Amino acid sequence: MLRAFFRSMSSYKNLSEELKLVEKDKSRIPSMEKPLPDPFSTPKFTGLKITVAAAFLLSLVSLAGAVSFYQVLNSEKRKREALEATQLQVQDHAAAFEKTAEQYRTEIERMREQLKSYGAERKEFKWQIEESDRRIAGLQNKLREVEERNKVIEEQISKKADAAFSPVSPDREPSLPALPEGPSVSSKADQAAAPAVKTAKVLTVNRRFNFVVVNLGMQDKIKIGDPLDIERDGKVIGSAKVEKLYESFASAVLVKEPKEAPVKEGDLIRRPA
């Protein structure tokens, strides 16, 4: 369209130059009485002017259409550039959102792993608590057994102590043992003043709690944890260890005891060398 406009303009310029040449030639021709006919008033020239005017108008229309089309193209170009810029922004935002979503997915996966770990730790803690409860129950049972055992030991030692140190009945005088005949009175007095030798022996056997009560105590200089040998007929048949200590009595746990000859009351007690 621009080419057609420039082509029309060039034709119009050429026609203008031809008209100027014609005017010059007309001025050179000598004047005559009878004027020459005006060449511009001829139908041919009139048609030429109409053609030129139409071409000029067509050129103007073409120019206006070209300008409008150019403006439309520029507008479309600007819209396309704006759309491309918007598309780039959307892509950038989408990339940022995808990165954020990936971070969230990673965090969620990490939290799931932590939950699994916490679940395993919870199971482990639950098992430990149950195990502790079982141990506490076992210790409580052992404590009750020990308390009951100590109670039995106290009762048996108390009975033995009451039997050994029971007072003489007031309605009868104590009978003194007959003194053996001897050569002199002084030897009799010496024999009466001499202390009797104490025989260490088993006083009571408790089969339920597996211990014995012996007639040795703090006055005999024994301590808790001391080992004791149990003898019968001059032979060691078992052993025990002092567990509870009193002034003249003690309880000892049976450590060793033969099945064919179990420990019984009256068996002798000896401290190992």
Q: How far apart are CA 238 and CA 230, in angstroms?
A: 5
Whether 193 is covered by a domain: the verdict is: no
Q: How far apart are CA 105 and CA 100, in angstroms?
A: 9
Write down the H helix ranges in the chain. 2-28, 43-164, 185-193
pTM over 0.85: no
Do 75 and 14 share a domain, yes or no? yes
Do 140 and 209 share a domain, yes or no? no
Q: How far apart are CA 224 and CA 258, in angstroms?
A: 24
Contact 251, 149 (CB under 8 A): no
CATH of the domain at 228: 2.40.10.340
Contact 66, 5 (CB under 8 A): yes
- pLDDT tens across 63-96, in order? 888 888 888 988 888 999 999 999 998 989 899 9
pLDDT band at 9 (very low <50, low <70, confident <90, very high): low
Q: How far apart are CA 153 and CA 147, in angstroms?
A: 10
**Domain boundary, last residue among 163, 180, 207:** 163
**Domain boundary, last residue among 163, 184, 213:** 163
* pLDDT attached to residue 48: 73
Do 217 and 93 share a domain, yes or no? no
- The bridge status of strand 202-206 relative to strand 250-256 is unpaired
Whether 194 is covered by a domain: the verdict is: no
- pLDDT tens across 211-239, in order? 999 999 999 999 999 999 999 998 999 99
Do 47 and 96 share a domain, yes or no? yes
- The bridge status of strand 268-270 relative to strand 250-256 is unpaired
- Give me the number of domains the chain comprises: 2
Do 158 and 224 share a domain, yes or no? no
Whether 112 is covered by a domain: the verdict is: yes
Do 136 and 223 share a domain, yes or no? no
Do 54 and 142 share a domain, yes or no? yes
Whether 134 is covered by a domain: the verdict is: yes
Selected residue with higher pLDDT from 201 and 15: 201
User: Using DSSP, how many helices (H) and how many strands (E) does the chain show?
Assistant: 3, 6
223: containing domain = 199-270
CB atoms within 10 A of CB 159: 13
